[in-house]
Each structure stands twice: as C-alpha cells, then as structure tokens.
Structure 1
C-alpha cells in the first residue's frame, strides 16, 4: 500500500474509530433538558430550580454514571433540537419512544411505561373513555404525538385546539376553551394533584407511553450505560420511592417493575 493509501486508512480510522460518535460517557458534566411546566414530572420553581420525577431520574442516572448534572428547559417540540444543536446531552422530558423519533435520537430505557389517559374538568360526565372525544375540543400540545394516537390511530374525529405546552393546555381546559387534554397519565396526574378538585382523570387508559431517555443519535455507549443506571434505579428501590413521592397521592396505579428496554441500536 502506498503512502496515500496508508494516509486514507489512518484518516478513516480517526473518523470512525477513535473519534466516532461523541458520547455522554466522555463528559464530566451532563446538561439535561427537562420540561418546566409539568408539575410532578418537571417544573421550574420561582427561584429557578427544577423539581419533579424526571428531574430526580436524571440526577440519579447522572450520579450512577459518575457525572455532575445541570438542567435546561425544553418544550415537546424542542427536544430533538436540543440534542442536535448540542444544547443538551440528554433529554428526560416525558419523551415517548416512537419509530419516527428513533430516527432522530437514540433512546435508552424506557424508564417508565405510562398510559395515555384523559383529563377533564371536575363535574364533566360526558367523557368516560377515548371514544367520547368524538367531536370534542381536544388540546394539542406542539411536538406531542398523543393527539395523533387518537385522531389518526383510532380515527376519532376530535376538534384539535393547538397550544404550545401542556401547561397551556390545562389553562385552556380550565377556561373551557377545550373540553379535554389527553397524554401520558403521569403528566395528567401532576396537574390533577397540584390543583385538587379542579380536574379529574377519567381513568380509562388506552395506549402505552414508553418514556425514554434520549441521547444524541448513535451514542450506543451512552445508551447502554443509561440502561444499566435505570436497571439499578428499580433494583435498589429508588424508582418506587420517587414514583410514590411525586404521584402517590394521585390515585394512579404505579408500576415499580423494571420496564422492558428497547435495546441500544448498534
């Protein structure tokens, strides 16, 4: 092999071997994107501190990886961009795993399997299950796939009313601008628990929402380490403790068993 051929081989090795895909395992501090307006899951307090189940899960995973952690805010529609643009190393933000999203990020987990349900104003008696959303005004948060599971997946012609976040959806529900909000039950439980008496969860689950921890696309090493951390979180009792801490008063049936992982793509 000539000098030119040798140089090309060495260059390829640098690009695909030693260099490879940047991994969270090589970082000392992990920047984690979380929501800021989902009580129980992730909410930013008046003094700027993030708190909630997703925040605690992210902190636990980072600690198991031997990393420090800082948090930044994301919305549903901004999650992929946070990773692609380098503004975050991980996303832990009620981020449901889907085939389309797996083409944009690498998912570890799921760290919890939620179930899609419906939130209504207290006293609402006409919505008992997903079929009752036909013709009803249903809030659609930007970047979420929950409403498409109803309108496209189940062919139920709800009247979609757009909002930027689920926090805005709940305000629309409160004002009567929409008649229902539908997404993962942990999201709904957080709002119902914060404002007891104002809203009611229908308790008619109809899909599974596998909440994953997203890392940059192709970071297999990071994905595998996060999966090991999630397993430990369930085995040492931390997951059960955190679920009870944030949602125990909501009345939801919570699972403390290790979810079946997606597997990290090689």
Structure 2
C-alpha cells in the first residue's frame, strides 16, 4: 500500500499545531525527551524527597547540573528512587539513564555497571547516641547491634575487618536505622560520614547523635551508567569537571553539608582510575 499523501494546507496546519504544543511545554528540551535519574529519597543532605514532593540534597544538585549539561531542562528530569539494593538492576533494565545516589565505586559493582566520576570522597564512619561514651573505637562495636541498609557494603566492611563480633542488622533504609538508634534497639549506624552528618543535622535529631570520627574507609562516589555506555559516561565526566571548575560543586557542598558542620574532602580526580584519586 502506498502512503497516503497529505495536502499541503493540512501539513501547514499540523506544523503550526506542533509548534504551539512545543511552545507551551513548560520550557523542556526541544525534542520533548525526558531523562530519568536514580537518587536516594531518604538521605537528608544527600538525596531526599520532601513532603511537598520536591527533591533536595548534594546528589540532587549534582544530578540537576549534569542533566543540564546534557541538554535537559529541569522540567525534563524525572527522579526515581534508587535504593542501595536496587541500583544495578535499575541500570541493567534501563529503568533509569544514570544514578546519583551515594554510589561508592568498587570492583564488584564495576562488573555490573560503569561509573562516571568519581565526584565526591567520603569516609565510612559510625553514628552513635550522643550520651554513649562506650563506643570510642571500631573495636568497641564487637557485641553491639550495628545497623546499615540492605545492599550496602558498610556494615560488612566493619564486621570483616574491624569488629568480627558485631551483630549486623540490615534495614530497608537509613531512616529505620536512625529510629532504632534513637529508641535503643540499635547501638550504632554505619555508612558514609556525609550521609550520617545529613541525618544528625535534621531538626528532630539535633543533639541526639554524634559521629565517631573513625574514617574507616575511603568511599569514592561515582555516577552509575549502564555497562558499556561509554559515550554517556564520558559526557557525564565532562559535566562533572565543569561543575568543579565553575564552583557549582563547592556551592552544593556548602549548601547541603555546611549546616551540619561537616567538612568535605576536596573534589577527587574526575575520570581518573580509583587508584589515582586522592585519599582522605
């Protein structure tokens, strides 16, 4: 069957209608495409979905900057929750285009996904109750209930290397760990210091917890992309370098971590192998 020809007048009307639709699209990209970004929804200061449906945190600021450099307007960005245990699956299935979710780069994860960056250097630490002076070193975690989230490597690192008799408790989110720490069913929460500082700075937690200051490991955050997508990874690296050079990176650090008194490390070498990035 031959394609039906459309009269010139009808074509003109159709083009005008499409142009009008584009002008009223709210400032999105010219082709109307969206970008779906995985972030954490429950990490204050890092990635948080607020009660009014907005998103805030350092990773959110990074995601918005990168998306902008890739050609997407703010209205083109769709944020999707990326829990620690789901991140590789989200990328492999194509449910997200990239993930900015306190995603530490390690060799095991590199077998499943690729990473742009790193764009942030954190240190694993523990959060304990402010009045608990019995935990002053990693060895003091032996026999204690140590909480982290399912899919995170933090608690297992402590048990394997520093406190083999720690009692691991894995929950679905850090908010549950903090609730347990507050009511005494958990003795310590472990993850990256930036994440812990964000929680401790919340109004309803102020003065209740303290960071151990142990610096148990170096955690280099990368932006996860689908395995083999070298073009996107390279484009994101370029965007991250620009974010550092124009001081947007430093402004995001100060805006999200400054209120908690947390002092971040300088930006790591973006695009360099992990072994070449500066340690803390």
TM-score range (shorter-chain normalised) is 0.7 to 0.9
Q: TM-score, normalised by structure 2?
A: 0.81
Q: How much has 1:64 moved relative to structure 2?
A: 1.1
Task: Classify the secondary structure of the residue corresponding to 1:63.
Answer: helix
TM-superposed CA distance for 1:49, in Å, is 1.6
| Corresponding position of 1:19 | none
Match of 2:39 among 10, 34, 37: 34
Q: Computing the radius of gyration over CA atoms, which structure comes out larger, 1 or 2?
A: 2
Is the contact between residue 117 and residue 185 of structure 1 (CA under 8 Å) also seen in structure 2?
yes
When residues 136 and 262 of structure 1 are mapped into structure 2, their CA distance, relative to the original with a 3 A threshold, is farther
- Is 1:247 the counterpart of 2:257? The answer is yes
Question: What secondary structure is seen at the aligned counterpart in 2 of 1:95?
Answer: coil
- Superposition pairs of residues 103-182 of structure 1, within 5 angstroms: 103-154=111-162, 156-182=164-190
The separation in 2 between residues aligned to 1:216 and 1:58, in whole angstroms, is: 16
Where does residue 53 of structure 1 map in the other structure? 58
| C-alpha distance in structure 2 between counterparts of 1:63 and 1:157, whole Å | 47
Aligned residues: 239
Return closer, same or farther for 1:196/1:155 CA change in 2, 3 Å cut-off: closer
Q: Which runs of 5+ in 1 are unaligned?
A: 1-25
Q: Does 1:227 align with 2:237?
A: yes
Q: Normalising by structure 1, what TM-score?
A: 0.85
CA contact (8 A) 1:112 1:259 kept: no
Shift of 1:27: 9.8
Give the CA RMSD over aligned residues.
Answer: 1.8
The superposition leaves residues 214-246 of structure 1 with CA deviations (integer Å, 9 ceiling, x where unpaired) of 011111111111111111111111111111101
In structure 2, list runs of 5 or more residues that go unmatched: 1-30, 275-280
Deviation for aligned residue 1:206: 1.7
Distance 1:27 1:93, change over 3 A: farther
